[in-house]
Structure 1
Amino acid sequence: MNKRGSKWVLIIAGALVYAIGLNAFLVANHLAEGGFVGFSVLLLYKLGWPLGVTFLILNVPVLIPGWRLFGREFILKTTVGVAAVSLFSWLTRSWQMPTSDPLLGALYAGVITGIGLGLIFRAGATTGGSDIIARMMKHFYGISMGRTLFAIDVFVIGIIALIVGLQTAMYSLVALFVSSRTIDFVIQGVNSGKALTIVSEHNGAIASEIHERLNRGTTLLKAQGGFTGQDKRVIYCVVPREEVVRVQNIVSSKDPSAFVVINDVHEVLGEGFTYE
C-alpha cells in the first residue's frame, strides 16, 4: 500500500477506535468530552439524540466554509474523519463497558479516544468541529488555535457541569487530559529519546566514553565561546531515556564542571532507534 493509501486507512482505523472509546467507556460511564463531541454527548444524555447523527449535523456548517478556506485535501480528509466517526459511533452504540469506578472509566476513555484521535491526526486529518473553528479564528483574527480550542472545551465542560453535574465534569476533565497526553504519544511516536548538548574542555574523552560504554554515536559541533571568544567543540548526542543517567555519569567523571543541556526529542530515526 502506498503512503497516500495508508493515510486513509489510518483515518478509518482511528475513527473506529475513537468511536469505541466514546461508546464503550465515555458514554457507558456517563462522562463527557469537549468540543462538538461534548455537545453531542450532552444532547444524547438529555434528549436521547443519537451521538453519531448529532455529531455529523453539527459539523456540516463548519465543513462547508472550511473547504473554501483551508483547501480541498485537508477538508476532504476531515470530512472522511467526521463521517467515519459518525458512522462508527452509530454502529458501536450498544458497546457498553460501564465500571463501578468513574475514575477508571475516565482513564480508559481518555486512553482509547486519545489513540483514535492520534491516528487521525497522524494522517493529517481532524474530526472537524472545534478544530476548524480554531483555524478560522486564527485565519480571520490571529487568535492562536490552542487558545480557541481551550476556550471551547472550557465552555462545553462548564455547560456539562451546570446541566449534568459537577462530578461528571470533573471526571470528564480527567479523560480530556489523559486523551491529550495519549494523542501526543501517538503523534510523536514510540521512538523518542533525550538529546544532550555537552560543553566541556574534555569533549574528546567524553565522546570516546559514550562510544565505548554505550555504543552511541556523537556529533562534535564547532562553536565559539561568547565571553572568551575561544573556539570550542560541543558534543551533541541522542540516547534513549533510560541511558540519560549513564551519560550524565560519564560527563561527571570526565569533567565535573561541564555544561550539559538535556532536551526531549521525538520520532528519532536512524541507527540505534529504528534499525540496528
Structure 2
Amino acid sequence: MQEVKKIAKKLVPKTYWNKLLLNMPKRLLEIKNASWVKRITIWRQIKDALFIGLGVVMASIGLKSFLLPNNFFDGGAMGMSLLLEILTPLDLSILILLVNLPFIYLGYRQLSLGFAIKSTMAILALALLVHFIEMPVITADKLLIAVFGGFFLGAGIGFAIRGGAVIDGTEVLAISVSRKSSLTVGDFITVFNVFLFIVAAIMVNLETAMYSMLTYFSASRTVDFLINGVEEYIGVMIISDFSDEIKTKITYDLGRGVTAFKADGGFGEKAKNPDRNVLFCVVTRLEITKIQTEIDKIDPRAFVIQYPIKDTKGGMIKKRPLH
C-alpha cells in the first residue's frame, strides 16, 4: 500500500492536489448556483405558460361572448382583424394569424427568437379557440359589450405580456418605429388607432366606431392595470443641504428605504462647497404627499425630482401580485 502511495505522489504533483482543494468550494458554489438558476428558469417557464394560457382564454371570452356577436372591434392588430372580419368573408381565426404574422417576424428581428416562438404559440392557440369553441352571448347592451368586452380582451393581452408574449403585435411595430423616428411607442399606437377608428367610421358606421373606441379604452386600462398594478411607484430624488436629516426622517419615521449617492454639483455660493449627498427612495403615489411634507419641514428649498417607475423588485418594496 505504501508503494502505491509513493507511486501516486510521483505521478500526480502536489500542486495538483492544492489546486483541487482550493477550487473545490468554487466548484461546489457553481453547482449550487447552476441548480438555483435551473430551478428559477423552470419556474419562470411554468409561470409564463400559465399567464399565456390564461391570457388566451380571457381574450377568447371577450371576442366570442361580447365583441364578435355585435360586430364590435378594438384597437391595434386585434382591432384590425375584427374590422377585416366585418368587411371580408374571411374567418376571424385566419385573420388573427395573417395580421399578426408580420408583427411576429418583427419581434423575432427586434427582440428574440424565444419571444417570437411564444407569441406564435399564443396567437395560434387564440385562433384555434376562436374557431372551434362556442361561447354564450352574455349581453346585448352595447355599453356593457364595449366595457366588458374590452376588459376581457385587455386582460388577455395583459396576461400574455406578463408571460413574455403578445397576442396583439401593435406594440412590437411601435417599438420598431420609435427606434427609427421621433415618435414614441405611445404616440405611434395612438396614431395607428386613430387611423383605424376613422376607417371603421367610414366603412362600417360612426356609432360602432364610437363604441369600439370605448372598448379600446377599457382594454388599454386593463392592460395597464395588469402590467403596472394598482399601486404606481414613484421614484423620488432629493438634493438638499440637510440630506442627513431628511434621510433619517424618511428611514426611521416614515419607514422607507433611502439610498444616498455622493454627488458633485452646486450653483452660485453652493458651488464653493460642492460635495453633497443626493437621496433616492421609491414610494407609492399615495405616500408622495407625506414625503414632500416632511421634506418641506426640514428644507423648503430642497430640489425634489419625481418620476414614475414601471416595476420594482426587492428591497423594502413588497412584491406585486402576478409579477
- Higher radius of gyration, 1 or 2: 2
Q: Tell me which interval the TM-score lies in, with the shorter structure as reference length.
A: 0.7 to 0.9
Q: State, as a whole percentage, how many aligned pairs show the same letter.
A: 30
Note if contact 1:191-1:267 (Cα within 8 Å) is conserved in structure 2: no
Out of 242, 249, 257, the residue aligned to residue 301 of structure 2 is 257
Note if contact 1:79-1:128 (Cα within 8 Å) is conserved in structure 2: no
- Aligned counterpart, 1:86: 127
- CA deviations on 1:132-185 (whole Å, 9 max, x unpaired) are 65577679xx35683654444333322211122112112212222332233233
Q: What are the residue-to-residue correspondences of 1:71-220 with 2, within 5 Å? A: 72-100=113-141, 102-127=142-167, 130=170, 142-143=180-181, 146=185, 149-189=189-229, 192-220=232-260
Q: CA deviation at 1:63?
A: 6.9
Residue aligned with 2:279, SS: strand
Question: Mind listing any 5+ residue stretches in structure 2 that lack a counterpart?
Answer: 1-41
Note if contact 2:76-2:168 (Cα within 8 Å) is conserved in structure 1: no
Question: Mind listing any 5+ residue stretches in structure 1 that lack a counterpart?
Answer: none
2:67 is the alignment partner of 1:26: yes
Structure 1 residues 108 and 254: alpha-carbon distance in aligned structure 2, compared to 1, 3 A threshold:
same
Structure 1 residues 214 and 135: alpha-carbon distance in aligned structure 2, compared to 1, 3 A threshold:
closer
Equivalent-residue separation in structure 2 for 1:151 and 1:223 (angstroms):
41
Note if contact 1:23-1:94 (Cα within 8 Å) is conserved in structure 2: yes
Note if contact 1:32-1:160 (Cα within 8 Å) is conserved in structure 2: no
Q: How many residues align?
A: 271
Q: Taking structure 1 as the reference length, what is the TM-score of the superposition?
A: 0.82
- Aligned counterpart, 1:267: 311
Equivalent-residue separation in structure 2 for 1:68 and 1:178 (angstroms):
29
Residue aligned with 1:274, SS: coil
Note if contact 2:243-2:278 (Cα within 8 Å) is conserved in structure 1: yes
Q: Taking structure 2 as the reference length, what is the TM-score of the superposition?
A: 0.71
2:92 is the alignment partner of 1:38: no
Note if contact 2:178-2:184 (Cα within 8 Å) is conserved in structure 1: yes
RMSD: 3.0
Q: CA deviation at 1:251?
A: 0.9
Equivalent-residue separation in structure 2 for 1:174 and 1:232 (angstroms):
50
Q: CA deviation at 1:250?
A: 0.8
Q: CA deviation at 1:89?
A: 2.0
